[in-house]
Structure 1
């Protein structure tokens, strides 16, 4: 039973139709109509044959099943997969990719839009519960699940790299299942510990609003230092005006500019900003909103960033500060198995480029130290700056100065990211290892690039366009590495999820952060789970890159609270 399709029943509100399909997408015309209340039992009955469930949206279909105690092994999320196939260079000639926009290109009403690239650094993350969403389709007709599956399978079959795309679609769909399972199970959270952390840093929780005691004291210090008794440090315009009135030549109130101020107000302002951010992002109001029954349950958004990285729709799960990690505590008799992939992106670059010298450096647990030991640079800090400069496209400072050494030592790795950068500068699309392609610059950008390349273009216009082109090149340079690292992480989680099913006591994933996972495990099998996490990382490397010499090293900790992880 390769596929079981699940789609809305137009004859019954809340009901669904179930039908079977073969590996080549041939759909059985026979349907089974199931009422909403009977769906969990029907899914459990069919799940014994290990089908791949095909549905429009895991975020819509899976939560009711989880609440009923039913979990599925595999699925094919048509929305997630459509987005990949719609834009992948591997499937660019398919009917799906060339068709006009349709209902599968629309987001569901409660889904945030994908994050846009921040060309000055790396891809930004979306974590704004108030972000605008696109309007839902106006057509009330049910989505054509069988037709969309047929189009997607045809797109994969005709792709230039069908094997890679199949793996990406399977991993992306499994990621959708994991996201809902983690939200359902929740991350264990100790409210009393969280309150104690906040009280220790900020003072007691104010009873009637206002600032906590520590922030109030810092406010007075700032006002006194600047001789401005009514200044409001929470108001950026007020604070900026106050700093300028005090004689400081600043253009913003960012930490980077404040650090340059040689005045006693500097330390008070920096502490205020840090504690104020903690209060607003993870303070008592956040705790009241997001922690229930001892669990933190954010809404993860798989593929929420254009590179394939995840985002969250509120809650800030991908930005938990170190200050509050002591509140993440295992249940009595349980442990947290926390693992992060050491220097994941450089290792991915080594595997993608087949650069044997860089792979050799990565055989150590610390790849940066391996670069030093190979005599490429003098210090570990130099190695880190040079490697991150290659991936992110540094053009100034220590990273840029070290690039010649890195280029001589690792020519294949540097050539790969340089080629991606040049493609971006020309306005071309680049693609990750498994097949997720970058967005192309818009038509106006392309027109400006052509105009600046022609005769008679104004010098200022040429400089501006070239700067934008270089910015886009830095984006595409990072895209191929960061996107492939996201694919490795998806395969890691998928392999881990499958392997955890064989461990007694139901250890389960509760947290994922780009290159880090957390498993909540019964204490007596926690060491076994740690081994499973390591084995899953080896499997992920093999799935993507075959018999690669690159080792994907992990830092694994078995702890009672998150702050104790290495």
Structure 2
């Protein structure tokens, strides 16, 4: 496959290296150039650029879709941490800039050039050569090659989802807010219902100036009532018997809605009938996505009824049942667990297999193994299931032991965990001060590495799923740009939402299922692992069903 690298130059110009031939074109000429190259079905190129979030939005705005790319920023950071790669092969001209290069912020108006500094004029062809050399010289080039391709495809999906947006009815959202909170307050003020709840809390505590958002204020008020608690989390407050607790819990829930998805959120993130969040592929250490803005990965159930398909269109929602346990079966090549995973409910499959007495036992044991439960009911179940599924349970146990020894671990395709003492999910900011603290950190890191291998491989499966689904959806269309065909509008780790013409709903559902099977076959070639989906065809996202957990 031909690789075409694009590098930014001064003066709104682009250096294009296409099959070894160098050309400099004006920025304004780029969409036409890309469109022409994409139209050649016999030689569809792989576009090589520094950051998909910088290059792809203006192409989409011009009605141009690309089939493949290499996101050098994402892949550079991935390869830097991959245990199978000799990091010295990534060193060279501009490599320190690549090390520091962060994700592009979502622009208000798509543009290619934002700042005229060195980082804006990196040579894509030189970095591409280093990355290809690092992969070829690694101990596992086939898997790493698949990983960087999937990571780059995910970046294309993210850019397209921001461009198309989630269909969103602002009037529905604002009506929901009014029903739950009262009329829209002046800027900086609280909604009417929140003010009423604050008054109830203050009256119940006999504290006229209490701030319900202040931990010291609430703890002091509880202490004056003879109640000692360690924090003011909702789970803690539910255990407290005091007349202020009920309005306090209602306040906390509604205040969270107001702060995260209130009127200000609608003003900032919804335009033209679309919610357009800013995604960050590989935003977490495991490769899972995060959001740079808009909270697309966590908007609450209260406002989901505002996500409504266009007239004549539907939302097709696909949710994978028990993704990570199925991934564990595949990556460990545990045939007994894979057999239990056939069908819609893996936990019930373990019961039918005779491994445990109840579904709850199966869930406790399997989740306990992946998250490091060593005591109580989960710990007891882990011990018994280890004998039944030695390959699967042995894999996560070895990952935990490696972490406790201070070693990095890797996912199935080769993403490496951050090192002990670096930036990882459970690592305290302060360095260890004594042997006891050091032991505690190693045990904590072991719990992290135990789950990292499974969660990270689950993220790889999901990337392969959406990459394949993206292409299947494109082929379902009768022509036109991305948003005129069935297209992905939301991706939540193990769930996708597709906006599609109602007449194509069944074909979209079939494409989701086929893409899930293809992703499993791609990653776990030697073992057939089921990835069943719960699929809902709905007008509003709030109507979508959920699979068993």
Q: Provide TM-score, normalisation by structure 2.
A: 0.91
8 Å CA contact retained: 1:85, 1:97: no
Indicate the SS of the match to 1:549: coil
Question: For the residues of structure 1 that align with 2:306 and 2:423, how far apart are their CA atoms?
Answer: 49
Distance in 2 (CA, whole Å) between partners of 1:207 and 1:511 is 32
2:57 to 38, 58, 63: 63
> 2:14 maps to which residue?
16
Question: For residues 227-246 of structure 1, what are the structure 2 equivalents within 5 Å?
Answer: 227-246=206-225
Render the CA deviation track for 1:396-438: whole Å, top value 9, x for unaligned: 4432232112212211111000000010111101000011000
Report if the CA contact (8 A) 2:182-2:193 is conserved. yes
Task: Give the conservation status (yes or no) of the 8 Å contact 2:521–2:528.
Answer: no
Q: Alignment length, in residue pairs? A: 523
Say whether the 8 Å CA contact 1:504–1:525 is kept in structure 2: no
| Residues 497, 509 of structure 1: 8 Å contact kept | yes
| Structure 2: distance between partners of 1:428 and 1:98 | 27
Q: Deviations over 1:526-565 (max 9, x none)?
A: 1110000000000000111114221011111111011111
1:161 aligned to 2:134? no
* Aligned-pair CA distance for 1:210: 2.8
Q: Match of 2:80?
A: 86
Alignment of 1:37-48 (within 5 A): 37-48=28-39
For 1:317, which of 296, 312, 324 is the aligned residue? 296
Residue pair 1:96, 1:155 contacting (<8 A) in 2 also: yes
Distance between the aligned counterparts of 1:33 and 1:143, measured in 2? Answer: 15
Q: Tell me by how many angstroms 1:443 deviates.
A: 8.2
Q: Secondary structure at the match of 2:216?
A: helix
1:107 Cα shift? 2.2
Counterpart contact for 1:86–1:97, Cα < 8 Å: no
Contact 2:305/2:542 (8 A) holds in 1: yes
Residue 385 of structure 2 is aligned with which of 402, 406, 410? 406
CA distance in 2, matches of 1:518, 1:321: 16
What is the distance in 1 between the residues matched to 2:136 and 2:169? 49
Structure 1, gaps ≥5 residues long = 22-27, 113-135, 446-450, 453-459
Pick from 350, 354, 357 the counterpart of residue 371 of structure 1: 350
Aligned to 1:304, what secondary structure does the other structure show? coil
CA distance 1:217–1:353, change in 2 (3 Å): same
For residue 3 of structure 2, what is the aligned residue in structure 1? 3
Counterpart among 430, 442, 460 of residue 487 in structure 1: 460
Q: CA deviation at 1:481?
A: 0.4
Q: How many angstroms does 1:34 deviate by?
A: 1.0
Q: Matched residue of 1:200: which SS? A: helix
Structure-2 separation of matches of 1:225 and 1:437: 52
Which residue pairs with 2:162 in the alignment? Answer: 183
Alpha-carbon distance in structure 1 between the residues aligned to 2:225 and 2:375 = 32
- Tell me by how many angstroms 1:206 deviates: 2.4
How far the C-alpha of 1:235 sits from its partner, in A, is 2.3
In structure 1, the residue matched to 2:491 is: 512
Residue pair 2:70, 2:149 contacting (<8 A) in 1 also: yes
Cα gap change, 1:417 to 1:42, in 2 (>3 Å): same
Aligned-partner Cα distance in 1 for 2:379–2:189: 47
Give, in whole Å, the separation in 1 of the partners of 2:358 and 2:17: 61
Alignment deviations for residues 107-159 of structure 1 (CA, whole Å, 9 cap, x no partner): 248559xxxxxxxxxxxxxxxxxxxxxxx997468312221111111111111
Q: What is the DSSP-based 3-state SS (H/G/I as helix, E as strand, rest coil) of the residue aligned with 1:173?
A: helix
Distance 1:225 1:548, change over 3 A: same
Shift of 1:77: 0.9
- Looking at structure 2, the residues matched to 67 and 237 of structure 1 have their Cα atoms a distance apart, in angstroms, of 50
Distance 2:160 2:119 in 1: 29
Q: Does 1:532 align with 2:505?
A: no
- Tell me which residue corresponds to 1:51: 45
Matches within 5 A, 1:122-161: 139=118, 142-161=121-140
Matched position secondary structure for 1:557: strand
**What RMSD, in angstroms, separates the aligned Cα atoms of the two structures?**
2.4
TM-superposed CA distance for 1:250, in Å, is: 1.3
Secondary structure at 2:231 match in 1: coil
